[in-house]
Amino acid sequence: MNIYDENWNYLEKKILQKKLKNKKIVLFGASTRNQKLIEDFELEVSYICDNNSHLWGKSFFGYPVKNPDVLLNEKEDFVLITILNDFGNLRMQFGELNIKEYYFANQEDIKYINKFGRMDLVLEINEKLVRRDYKYIHIIPEEKFFINSFIIIENEFNIKEHLYIIYGINRANKNDCYNLWKLYEDKGEKFGNIILIDDFCNIKSRNNNNFMKEIDFFITNSVKIILESAFFTDYISKYLSSKEIELKEKSVLLVWGGDVVNPPFQNKIDVVKNVKQIMSTKTNFDYIHKNFGLDDFVALEGNVCAYLYIPQNYKKDQKRHSLNILLNNSGTINGNHMEVLEELKKFREEDIMIYCPLSYCDGGTSHKICEVGNRYFSERFVPVFDFMNYEVYVQFLNQIDIAVFGYEYAGGVTTISLLNEMGKKIYVKKNSDLWNDLQSKEISLYDFYNIKKETIEDFKEIKHEYDINTRKECYMDDVKKRWETMLRVYPK
């Protein structure tokens, strides 16, 4: 683990220890990463501060956990140390607490992170802004769906009216696994309509008062604010919560899959409670009403896959020898992979190949999935770790015959909709939230629970057929209509 000062200067252990001599040491964040920090640098910690009020008064690895406000009354000379992942979100709070000396740690060398532009490129891209009169403000995490969102707006609407504010840098897109930075450079150079709010590295510029005033200006003078996803970071949640008036007047939330059902919930509630419109499925509306206690919003019910389009270079499916099976679209724990593998195990002597995407997964879960998959199917189980860009992913799905999803809620809807457009056979758990949502969208589904009693011939049989070439133009019209609905300005 490496330690840096606030100016990104690397500190050797002996230099850090010299700086800490005769000072009280306070850690920010009750996490196992901070425990490793204590061990690696032999820190004599007085106590830990954490924003989670449920931890206050409790002990974490023998250290008392306190409300960060105690730092305002700290009489002794002290230093604050935290982990880089948390540092971006907490930088503004440090200023409010009048903390004068702090350090942050990271598992990787900061130079390795900077290779992907996590500092210099952020400033460079933000400086390319060319307009002041953007009508539509997209606030979106640095995620793979940014690509499709931008391409659809560029192809179907006036892209010059749209500003993209991207947050959560280097979280889901760690080490640029989604290949977004080249797109930021190219589109930023061409249109000058991308702003990066970097929770990870661009700490100084992000919290510069003039920079945030510029963000405020765009938000205030827009006609529509499009919140793409509810995967809010702490920082963006705090910022959006301060924009209650603007959100209530002109915002729409586009829900991604199961993002409203995943923690941290408070980050979502603080923002979603002020949103004017939500585009999602009935299941998600019911969940928001039941768990968030919210119903004061305009529900725009429809297919949440507003990011789908059929690439121009799409080629028809080619005949092949083996039966290609897709197991979910990610390695997240709610995909119930073990259950699906258990059901498919009876076909392991057949001429099948099972492809299991794991680029969207934590290491521990993917290891368990691979262990069971290899034990049951040997070389017929193929884990797919590499992230594919959209057009490559469409061609990959084109080679699939049957897809089996183990989700209970609305996950994998983008992939399922694409597979449906291609006429593939799709298994989903009957009467699950996912099944109920998809049933209303003219998607042909087969009951997952029937696999138990099916022969391989039953499993192979497809009782519906689509011709993607005849559906292509119609489908893009559907996608465009969804965006027109979201961008529409409603009376206040």
Q: What is the CATH number of the domain that holds 329?
A: 3.40.50.2000
| CA 406 – CA 428 distance, rounded (Å) | 7
Select from 107, 138, 171 the last residue of a domain: 107
Q: Residue 431 domain-assigned?
A: yes
Same domain, 281 and 222: yes
| pLDDT (tens digit per residue) in 232-282 | 887 788 889 999 999 999 999 998 866 777 766 667 888 999 999 998 877
Same domain, 154 and 294: yes
Q: Taking 60 as the threshold, does the pLDDT of residue 491 lie above it?
A: no
Select from 107, 140, 161 the last residue of a domain: 107
Same domain, 67 and 209: no
Going through 124-229 in order, the beta strands assigned E by DSSP cover: 136-141, 162-167, 194-197, 224-228
Q: Residue 51 domain-assigned?
A: yes
Same domain, 152 and 294: yes
Among left, alpha and beta (phi > 0; psi -120 to 50; other), residue 410 is: beta
Q: Residue 453 domain-assigned?
A: yes
Q: How confident is the model at residue 34 (pLDDT cuts 50, 70, 90)?
A: confident
Regarding predicted confidence, which is higher, 123 or 255?
Answer: 255
Of 265, 264, 258, which is closest to residue 281 (Cα–Cα)?
A: 258
Q: Taking 90 as the threshold, does the pLDDT of residue 371 lie above it?
A: yes
- Report the pLDDT averaged over residues 331-341: 90
Q: Strand 194-197 and strand 162-167: pairing?
A: parallel
Query: Residue 230 belongs to what domain range?
Result: 113-301
pLDDT of residue 144: 84
Going through 281-421 in order, the beta strands assigned E by DSSP cover: 298-301, 323-327, 352-357, 381-384, 402-404
Name the DSSP letter for residue 259. Answer: G
| CA 88 – CA 168 distance, rounded (Å) | 9
Same domain, 241 and 386: no
Same domain, 158 and 280: yes
Same domain, 94 and 130: no
φ/ψ (deg, to 5) at 427: -100, 130
Contact 449, 486 (CB under 8 A): no
Same domain, 297 and 380: no
Count of structural domains within the chain: 3
Same domain, 222 and 277: yes
| CA 389 – CA 176 distance, rounded (Å) | 12
Q: Residue 314 domain-assigned?
A: no
pLDDT of residue 46: 93
Q: Residue 119 domain-assigned?
A: yes
Same domain, 236 and 333: no
Same domain, 245 and 281: yes
Same domain, 74 and 143: no
Select from 75, 107, 139 the last residue of a domain: 107
- The CATH number of residue 129's host domain is 3.40.50
Q: Residue 492 domain-assigned?
A: no
